Chains A and B, each alone.
Chain A
Amino acid sequence: MSIADLTHAEYIFLAYGVTFVVLALVVVQSWQSFRAARCALQDAGLASDKKAPE
């Protein structure tokens, strides 16, 4: 069976699967970048929620 012979349900599963995997990767990447930036800021002696030089 080739990928062109999939059933409608399998196409739907693939479409929703790709959608949520891509979105989950963006969420995880965004959260990890946020955590890394917050840790770097704290290491530099700047609390992330306080006013710092702009």
Chain B
Amino acid sequence: MIRRFANPTRFLALARVVMPLAAILCAFGFGLGLWLALAASPPDYQQQETVRIMYVHVPAAWMALFVYTSMAIAAITGFVWKHVVAELYAKAAAPVGAAFTLICLVTGALWGQPMWGTWWAWDARMTSVLVLLFLYLGYIALVDAFDDPQRGINAGAILLIVGLVNIPVIKFSVDWWNTLHQPASLTRLDAPAIDSTMLWPLLTMAFAFKMLFVALVCLRLQTEIMRRRLAVRHQQVAGEAA
């Protein structure tokens, strides 16, 4: 399976099918999710209407962690198996992951001000997510900082693998330290501590975010494959001229 999609042409054929499907599911998910989040779901007894910010904040946070983890796995796959598409995946996914992290931080601040009375606190969860944003931005800067694109991808892969240590820190920061940020309410070993009237808008928005990511990564991977083909072509032309 891993080997099968190492061939960019085979991957492009798959992406052309998956991308429009994901885009349609994303539009449907956002339509339903926004209706559930803004109209159908009730206000929280403590947070009141501000709980609606959670329906974009939490999916963005999940995606920020998921995208970074998938990029690090792709970097390892690229390193070990010399998988071309896996190498390009990390480069294609990074700006999307950075956008999700930025959304998570901004919407968190917009929720924190009315609920906690502060936009920001240097607690472990918020600080580690800020570090994640810097890791994304560092990767985006590093991967294009070399004349040889392969050197950029290799250097970026090392950063991704080293930065992977931040992921469990983000996930378990609310358990390991006494933070202002509340502990997990959904991803816990016992039943989720959230009512179904609020769970469904959250899951629907999370589905829409995921489908948007799939569609965008398919599009961006096609772009990266075309750029690589162009670079090969330029090298061939330069070789023929020399």
Contact = CB atoms under 8 A, between A and B. Distances in A.
Contacts of A37: 222-223, 226-227, 230
Interface residues of A, number: 34
Contact of A15 (B53, B96, B229, B236): B53
Interface string A1-39: 000101011011011101100110111011101100110
Interface core residue of B53, B106, B212, B229 (most chain A CB under 10 Å):
B229
Interface of A: 4, 6, 8-9, 11-12, 14-16, 18-19, 22-23, 25-27, 29-31, 33-34, 37-38, 40-41, 44-46, 48-49, 51-54
A27 B229 contact: no
Given A12-B52, A37-B223, A19 B111 contact: no
A54 B38 CA distance: 48
Interface of B: 7-9, 12, 38, 48-50, 52-53, 56-57, 60, 84, 95-96, 99, 102-103, 106-107, 110-111, 113-114, 212, 216, 219-220, 222-223, 226-227, 229-230, 232-234, 236
Interface of A is mostly: helix
A26 B232 contact: no
B211 to A, nearest CB: 12
A14 B108 CA distance: 11
Given A54-B84, A54-B232, A15 B107 contact: yes
Majority-rule SS of B interface residues: helix
A12 B238 CA distance: 55
Contact of A46 (B60, B222, B233): B233
13 contacts: A11-B53, A19-B107, A22-B99, A25-B99, A27-B212, A30-B96, A30-B216, A30-B219, A37-B227, A40-B226, A41-B230, A52-B232, A53-B229
